[in-house]
Amino acid sequence: MNEERVRALKELEASLGYCFEDMGLLDNALTHRSFVNENNSLSCKDNERLEFLGDAVLELTVSDMLMKKFPDDAEGELSKLRASVVNEQPLAGLARRFRIGEFLLLGRGEEASGGRMKPSLLANAFESLIAAMYLDGGFDRAAAFTRMLFEPLIEAGTAAVYRDYKTAAQEICQALFQELPRYAIIEETGPDHDKRFETSLIIGERIIATGTGRNKKEAEQQAAKMALETLRENGPLLAGGTDAIGP
């Protein structure tokens, strides 16, 4: 690695809060096969083997978290919860949070086609990063990093087990944004005997989701339910400071 690459990787380390003993592992985790194919003379390796390993580390760590959080849930429910957080969308969101795309080594074709922004490529790179941490510092350090990031995602992914969606939305918003949601009535329609309310759930100045109901409470619950679905898919991205995805 040249000095410029080392400086870039140290910047990423600072963002991650993790210092690699073997920075070559981090470099490997961020090397796409398109770069290797175009630079055979550099004798570098792509990150596909690390991706394979990182997927296993993530699944084990998240499975352990779910087993402890829901000791009475059946295997099928735990599998659904795990699948809701260990999949392309949330993994890509975490990669964006740490700007991993900026540090990838890509071939010219992949670069030209917007590879740094592709969800599949970002998700794979994040899995490779977890594997690099595991090989560099052992399972405990990799698992600690994973638990820190996935606790809010697990909260979001368990929306289905809550009867009171407002309570769930409050807990998740506190975990992701360190603030409570508020509700605002957007529209009230219909005669007195058949009212319909439209209510939005708002974080800061951002509308996260909107729901409707026959009364204010029902509309707020529906807005909270829709917000939980949104946060499950985009929570890390929103928490990273991007613009609202609501209307």
Catalytic annotation on 55? yes
Distance of CA 34 to the CA centre of its chain: 25
What angle is formed at CA 236 by the lines to CA 185 and CA 110, rounded to 5 degrees? Answer: 125
Which residue in this structure is represented by tokens 């951002």?
A: 206
Q: Which residues pair with 207 in a beta bridge?
A: 202
CA 9, CA 132: separation in Å to the nearest integer? 13
Q: Which amino acid is present at 93?
A: G
Which one is catalytic: 127, 136, 155, 220? 127
Could you confirm whether 127 is annotated as catalytic? yes
> Which one is catalytic: 27, 46, 51, 55?
55
Cα-flanking dihedrals φ and ψ of residue 207, to 5°? -80, 115
Q: How far apart are CA 205 and CA 244, in angstroms?
A: 9
Contact status, residue 23 vs residue 9, Cβ threshold 8 Å: yes
Residue 123 has, within 13 A of its CA and on its CB side, a CA count of: 13
Would you state the structure tokens that stand for residue 89, as one six-digit string?
A: 């969308």
- Annotated catalytic sites, by residue? 55, 127
